[in-house]
Amino acid sequence: LSLCTVGDVLFTGAQDCNIMIWDLNNLQYIGTLPGHGGAVKCMAAALSRKTLCSGSQDRTIKVWSLESFSCTKTFLGHRSEVNVLTILDSPEVLLSGSEDRSIRVWDIVSLTLLASLEQAHYSSIVAIEALRPGAFMTASSDRSIK
C-alpha cells in the first residue's frame, strides 16, 4: 500500500499492519516494524531527524527511529484512517491528511500537535504537497485542490 526510501533502504507498508524493511543494494529483507492496528497507508521520512513516520487505517501516525528501528511516538487525533503524510523541512513539521477531512500539523522535533484544520475539504484528503517553506497544497476526493 505504501513505499518510502531512505538512502539505500526501502520501507514497505502493507495491509498486514506491518512495515517491512529492505536493503536496496541486494534486495534483501532486513526486518519488520510492527505496531499498527490497521493497514499502513502512507509513510514519510525526515532524514535530518532520522525518523520515519507512518499513517494507518487505525487512525494513528507512528514516528519510528531510523537508528533503533523502534516506535518513539504515536500521534492520535484523526477520527478516521490516515491517507497521506508529508514532511516540510522548514519548519520541521509533519502534515497528515485523513478520511475525516482534516489536516493536522505535527512538530516532529517536540512531537506535539501544532494545529488542526477540521473540514479542510468536503471529502477525504488524498494528497498533500509541499510548495515552499511553510506552504503546502492539498487535494481531496471531492475533486478540489486548495
Residue ranges, the chain, pLDDT below 70: none
Give the burial class of 135: count Cβ atoms within 10 A of its Cβ; 0-12 exposed, 13-18 middle, 19 or more buried: exposed
Instruction: Return the pLDDT at 135.
Output: 87
pTM of the model: 0.93
Cβ atoms of residues 123 and 109 within 8 Å: no
